[in-house]
Amino acid sequence: MKFLHISDLHIGKQLYGYSLLEDQRCVLGQVVELMKKERPDALLVAGDIYDKAVPSAEAVKLFDWFLTEASETDEGISIFVIAGNHDAARRIDFAGSILRRERVYMIGTPPEKPEDFIQKVTLTDACGEVDIYSLPFFKPAAVRKVFTEEENESYVNCAKESGRSEYDVYLEKLLAREKIDYNKRNVMLTHQFYMPRSGTIERTDSEIVTVGMLDNISAEQLSAFEYVAMGHIHRPQKCGGEQMRYCGTLMPYSLSEEKDEKSITMVTLGEKGSKPEIETIPVKPLRRVRKIKGTTQEILGASETGFGCNDDYVSITVTDEHPGRFVREELGSRFSHILEIRFENSHIKELIGDGSDAPLSQDYFEMFAQFYEMRNGETMSEQETCILAQLLNESQEEEE
């Protein structure tokens, strides 16, 4: 059985104010083209469909287009979609019973009552049955009504005494209720923060990081599954065993992902007991994310190859000792998607330093005036001087 694993689409996300819908349509189109070529039995989408709980109409329209195109690649294909922590669970659940008739399984909410279980769908190939379990993102508070008050108290105490997170304990209890037949081939689709027994997980700046890692779950709990399709982490990587994987995002969502190679994960399951064949198919983003550093003339005079495509999303660090007044305009005439422009030179370092030895009595008015003159090549006007003085006075009054 062959299936594709993708996650963290974050449709509707913006990068420094730039809409990424055009970029997202490009990479989603590559998923559709791969489906037409490979004819997988299923597509697994492991959460964070949208970037916001209430997505824009344009974001919903794009996902509707993607689902329609993906479902039409093959009459027999099954599509599984779960909610991530960025999604509104009820919105993902919408029209679920109708979509199931078309083999599109939209699962937004985890088990919430004693009679609820992790949703399971059984597919069949030449080697027999494959049970696919779909567990959307959950918080312990969301699944407590599944258990009795006594059980919940016991689970919370267990977490405190053992040093495990409540997320870890509650996943263990949810799995125990399922009575999973491990004589069959099983696949888990899930969106949580899983950690391997040893080693670390490589994270990016575009992820939400919980202080103290209070939401981490041991990936070992899922080690008996033939494959675990994980979402939540934006960088593709194994999480323990070869068959437990974060597929990562289809495109970069932060400057920290400048050198990441984005991909689609393709998995082929053979007979029970055999290792799955796992292949990563490269995805080419419409625009890359890049960091550029140099003097204004070095940046403007370099070939396009030297500093990447002029249409990329770029963070620029200008190292001129005396930047021209119109440096932003000059750089903007070449690069169409500037994320930020930073300045790095001896004057900046002298004014700002590392913050450790700045005197408490620093004259902020003089400091800003010097920076303004260095940056713009002229002193502040009388009106600008009055505005700055007023702002500093108001700030001092608030502190007192």
What are 122-141's pLDDT values in tens digits? 999 999 999 999 999 999 99
275 band by pLDDT with thresholds 50, 70 and 90 = very high
Q: What is the rounded average pLDDT of the residues 150-174?
A: 94
CB 249 within 8 A of CB 266: no
154 band by pLDDT with thresholds 50, 70 and 90 = very high
Comparing CA positions, the residue from 21, 34, 26 lying closest to residue 60 is 21
**pLDDT beyond 70 at 182:** yes
Mean of the per-residue pLDDT values of the chain: 88
Q: What is the rounded average pLDDT of the residues 296-308?
A: 75
CB 23 within 8 A of CB 59: no
- According to CATH, the superfamily of the domain at 2-282 is Metallo-dependent phosphatases (3.60.21.10)
338 band by pLDDT with thresholds 50, 70 and 90 = very high
The pLDDT value recorded for residue 132 is: 98
Q: What is the pTM of this model?
A: 0.84
Q: Where are the beta strands (DSSP E) in 197-336?
A: 216-218, 227-231, 237-239, 241-246, 263-268, 277-282, 289-294, 313-318
Burial of 197 (0-12, 13-18, 19+ CB in 10 A): exposed
**pLDDT beyond 60 at 152:** yes
Of 188-197, 276-285, 336-345, where does mean pLDDT reach its minimum? 336-345
400 band by pLDDT with thresholds 50, 70 and 90 = very low
Task: For 189-245, write each residue's pLDDT tens digit.
Answer: 999 999 998 888 888 888 876 545 578 999 999 999 999 999 999 999 999 888 999
Distance in angstroms (rounded) separating the CA atoms of residues 252 and 389: 42
Q: What is the rounded average pLDDT of the residues 274-288?
A: 96
Sequence length of the chain is 400
The pLDDT value recorded for residue 31 is: 98
**pLDDT beyond 90 at 57:** yes
CB 228 within 8 A of CB 244: yes
**pLDDT beyond 70 at 366:** no
Distance in angstroms (rounded) separating the CA atoms of residues 246 and 278: 12
Q: Which residue(s) pair with 23 in the sheet? A: none
With residue 394 as reference, give the H or E element that holds it. Answer: helix 382-399
CATH 3.60.21.10 residue ranges in the chain?
2-282
Q: What is the rounded average pLDDT of the residues 295-307?
A: 77
The pLDDT value recorded for residue 113 is: 95
**pLDDT beyond 80 at 185:** yes
DSSP secondary structure letters along 107-126 = E-----STT---EEEEEEET
More confident residue, 376 or 327: 327
